[in-house]
Amino acid sequence: MGNDLSVTFHGAAGTVTGSCMEYRFGGKRLLVDCGLFQGSRTLETLNREPFAFDAKHVDVVILTHAHIDHCGLLPRLVSEGFDGDIWCTAPTADLLEYMLADAGRIQESDAMRHNRRRDRAGQPPFEPLYTEEDGLSAWRRARSVELEKWFEPTPGFRARLWNAGHILGSASVELEIGGVHLLCSGDLGPEHKAFHPDPESPAGFDHVICEATYGDRARDHVTIEERRRLLGAEVKAALDRGGNLIVPVFALERTQELLLDLAALIDGGQIAAPRIFIDSPLASRATKVFARYAEALEDVDGKIFDHPAFHFVEDVNASIRLNSVSGAIILAASGMCEGGRIRHHLKHNLARRESTILFVGYQAEGSLGRVILDGAARVRLSGEDVAVRAQVRRIDTYSAHADQDDLLAWIGDRGPIAGSLFLSHGEAGSVEALRRLAQSRGYAASVVAPALRESYRLVAGVPAKRTKTGDPALQAAVGRDWQNSYADFATHLKSELARIDNAAARAEAVAAMRDVLIRYQQARSARSRHPDRRA
């Protein structure tokens, strides 16, 4: 088996985060990406699960781009003994310095916050997943390589990177291993995206692994001018209400796209010059990297990020002072509202009817952003119930991901695919919709939707063969979890009890709910003692 080529999907299978594929051949192991799981609290617990491989035995990593769901477990990989190279483009290597250090600081800060909680008194201290120094140690292993240039990351493996058009520095990975010709799409950008040319790569492969984030939907393709008109209308409507416009953003790429468009709208007189606060130190640093590569980008020069309306907020106290402002635009990370400064801006603006929350990026199932976007009347933030009275809006024209039409066109252009087309990095509905369309068009001999921890044997010219099934326990962590359901139940419980007409009846309802929990626990205990008996 040592000379057979295999691939195992350790992440981004049935979910859009945690991207990590392991290729084994001739005693060597290569990872494409090593990303953080993001979304529900249950899904995020997978970040603390033991790796399914020994980090010391991984020879090399090829990184498609610097988003945390693709690179965010590299510090842990290094801290557990990985000492190989991390190959990527030069812009990705530059961004990693800030992305991984920031991720480490967040892990340390989250651990401190957990340990301060009263309900953890007397418990063992909660340890960070990794530290800022771990992040910098991983960054120091980065080795840059030019696009479209063959290199040998480890003996027996040839690789070449191609522009993926997703974010600054993003790449698809072409591999030649043991006579098998492969292509990993990475995350693909849409047609005519700001900053970057359309995705490119050769045609004719044995196997292709393609992302499927938006495999179930086709967006209206708009020009940059049309996109700016949509943004301008949302900005004007939000500021006319007199409150703040809060925009959850990804620090990398989405922030810079919005700054590009806001500057154009202000300079063109389409909107008045509001105060625009970029409340993310990471976004500030990423913007400097964009300015460094401005000459190679489309639609931009480095000066656009120095607009007088832009105020980059570095200091925590300055961030807190924004809680008292009105009539401003506040861009803050994280993009799915799962951490960072956006959470305290939501806490101070969600309940204000005059405020607006504008979503401009993908919201994974189970994330706080998805819960708000799906119409929750109340949410839990920092242990408190917060009513959602603000206007909740969405613009779907800023996606850095290819939509269904773009994906099908990209897959079709990679043909012929002699073996299997794998569809990863998508929720179940997105993957299945794209799988059916790709199969009906005959794009590959087989179209596969891999599960977490599934392994496949890859041979030239024939469909892949599954050699190891996925882990059902890991699959159960994908999507909306019990903590989402609990938060929804808890935030509505008081208002539901208030509808009961008298105090005695409300007390009876509480007692009945408590009795349900007791009887449920007793039934589970009985089943565990007598598994052959039906409870």
For residue range 309-368, list pLDDT tens digits in order: 999 999 999 999 999 999 999 999 989 998 889 999 999 999 999 999 999 988 877 889
Q: Taking 60 as the threshold, does the pLDDT of residue 481 lie above it?
A: no
Residue 517 burial (CB count, 10 A)? 9
Same domain, 259 and 303: yes
In a domain, 509, yes or no: no
Token match 């200091």: residue? 315
- Residue 423: pLDDT band by 50, 70, 90 thresholds? very high
Same domain, 188 and 104: yes
Same domain, 179 and 30: yes
- Which of 375, 394, 413 is where one domain is finished? 394
Longest dimension (CA), the chain: 76
In a domain, 195, yes or no: yes
In a domain, 192, yes or no: yes
CATH of the domain at 35: 3.60.15.10
105-114, 270-279, 406-415, 475-484: least confident range:
475-484
Give the pLDDT score at 529: 65
In a domain, 304, yes or no: yes
Q: Taking 80 as the threshold, does the pLDDT of residue 456 lie above it?
A: yes
* Span 145-193, pLDDT tens digits: 999 999 999 999 999 999 999 999 999 999 999 999 999 999 999 988 8
Q: Taking 70 as the threshold, does the pLDDT of residue 3 lie above it?
A: yes
3-state secondary structure at position 204 = coil
Give the pLDDT score at 460: 97
- Which of 420, 449, 475 is where one domain is finished? 475
Token match 């960072």: residue? 340
Are the CB atoms for 356 and 393 separated by under 8 Å? yes
- In angstroms and rounded to an integer, the radius of gyration of the C-alpha atoms of the chain is 24
Same domain, 286 and 260: yes
- Which of 331, 363, 394 is where one domain is finished? 394
Same domain, 208 and 250: no
Q: Taking 50 as the threshold, does the pLDDT of residue 535 lie above it?
A: no
Residue 279 burial (CB count, 10 A)? 25
In a domain, 346, yes or no: yes
Which structural domain, as residue segments, surrounds residue 88?
Answer: 5-218+400-475
User: Helices in 246-315 by DSSP H: which ranges?
Assistant: 254-267, 281-292
Q: Taking 80 as the threshold, does the pLDDT of residue 274 lie above it?
A: yes
In a domain, 525, yes or no: no
List residues bridging with 177 in a β-sheet. 157, 180
Give the pLDDT score at 351: 96
In a domain, 56, yes or no: yes
What one-character DSSP code corresponds to residue 56?
G
User: How far, in Å, CA of 109 to CA of 131, rounded?
Assistant: 10
Q: Taking 80 as the threshold, does the pLDDT of residue 256 lie above it?
A: yes
Same domain, 155 and 130: yes
Same domain, 107 and 14: yes
46-50, 379-383, 431-435: least confident range:
379-383
In a domain, 531, yes or no: no
Average pLDDT over residues 62-73: 97
Average pLDDT over residues 206-229: 93
Residues 6+ away with beta carbon under 8 Å from 349: 243, 244, 246, 355, 357, 390
Buried b (16+ CB within 10 A) or exposed e, 246-273: bbbbbbbbbbbbbbbbbbbbbeeeebee
User: What is the domain count for the chain?
Assistant: 2
- Residue 199: pLDDT band by 50, 70, 90 thresholds? very high
CATH of the domain at 346: 3.40.50.10890
Average pLDDT over residues 96-106: 95
Same domain, 201 and 274: no
Give the pLDDT score at 484: 52
> Nearest-CA neighbor of 369 among 361, 479, 377, 109?
361
What one-character DSSP code corresponds to residue 158?
E
User: How far, in Å, CA of 239 to CA of 260, rounded?
Assistant: 19
Q: Taking 70 as the threshold, does the pLDDT of residue 412 lie above it?
A: yes
Q: Taking 90 as the threshold, does the pLDDT of residue 208 lie above it?
A: yes
**Percent of the chain predicted with pLDDT > 90:** 72
Same domain, 40 and 177: yes
Give the pLDDT score at 1: 43
Token match 């961030």: residue? 319
Same domain, 367 and 335: yes
Q: Taking 60 as the threshold, does the pLDDT of residue 30 lie above it?
A: yes
Same domain, 243 and 381: yes
Measure the N-to-C terminal CA separation of the chain; round to a whole number of Å. Answer: 46
What rounded mean pLDDT belongs to the chain? 91
User: How far, in Å, CA of 225 to CA of 191, rounded?
Assistant: 15
298-307, 425-434, 453-462: least confident range:
298-307
Same domain, 359 and 449: no
Taking each helix axis from N to C end, the angle separating 224-240 and 254-267, rounded to the nearest 10 degrees, works out to 80
